[in-house]
Structure 1
């Protein structure tokens, strides 16, 4: 197993892509720290699923939009099993609003969760790796919208564009510490956050017309790439964004 004796923290892992990443990393041998705003039946089911695989799983509740909270989350995750090898920054939010109506509260909610929390979570992890003289792997969950436009989601696009540059910058700055940093950018994925789209046949067909493969992706498609980037198979890959989009990004036309 490629993650035997490894511990991974996956933020925002109660459902969707985060849950799929946690399951895939566990299936490949990792013990996993799960995270969400609170432990509910989704987290409990995930713990059971992972422990049934013979791996360890622990849930830590934290709101990663607050810098002190995310720093505490990383430190608590390290304390659970005495080490941390992999950080998957999956937690993310979006707000649909016309640009001219976006409030400061909405802007801060998106930027604090998608960029500020990631920034200081990585910082806490890097300090740990430096103090312990350990290598580390970081995967940030970005979006195709770090690259392509998404009208009415300006703050979301700005946060993902910032994440793209942060990843590139940190890959250079942290390389001498043997810490790799990459982005994964999902396209149209069948997750709970897209349930409204999935239930709207006309809107769904419009999206599928923009995807050369003519289908939505699955959380497992994304998790497979995350697992690869976290593994030694990707030991010479850092500072890049890797798209999981069925060809959407460079075929996209806004309707």
Structure 2
């Protein structure tokens, strides 16, 4: 597979790593579970490599496709630049030769380029994208922002879902993870999920998710309907596939 550099990006100064990539019409957020039905041969090979330890740490990169009408990625410009690794948790073989797997979002990464590889699945040269240090993650500002974000989440879920169809994240959830867990319950547009993923300041991320959920709660209450998810839109178009 030929190498492909991301446009408008110079070679990185920081250390990079090679990572298998799984482009999807969705955004995986850290700490959020993602079940997948694997049927395409290249991704069956990826799961096999993960299970056998050919790919270390049972970890691969999920990265969102920019256009719902694109199903087969061959250029880096078709992808958002920031993705999240998926940690393989459970694997079940299907009667058709595929797999049903459960993964959990782990580490964020910045994709620098698609790299040449003998594997049937995409490989990328990535740089890990940690959060910026927060001076007082348990201080008054963090607590106030967390309470506001939880209140916005409750308003959204009460408007969008039936009682019992949702629950608040545990009170033990870390400030750095809370925005992701709140967003996971809500049908935010893909680009806005991507904005949450690329935000490296945990407190700014809480402000952003509060604004997004408050806005969406207003839309849902006014329209009495939740938006169509990106995956459902792709299914309607008939052009995009899971893998």
Normalising by structure 2, we get a TM-score of: 0.31
Structure possessing the higher radius of gyration over alpha carbons: 2
Q: In proportion to residue count, which structure has more helix?
A: 1
Q: In proportion to residue count, which structure has more strand?
A: 2
Normalising by structure 1, we get a TM-score of: 0.30
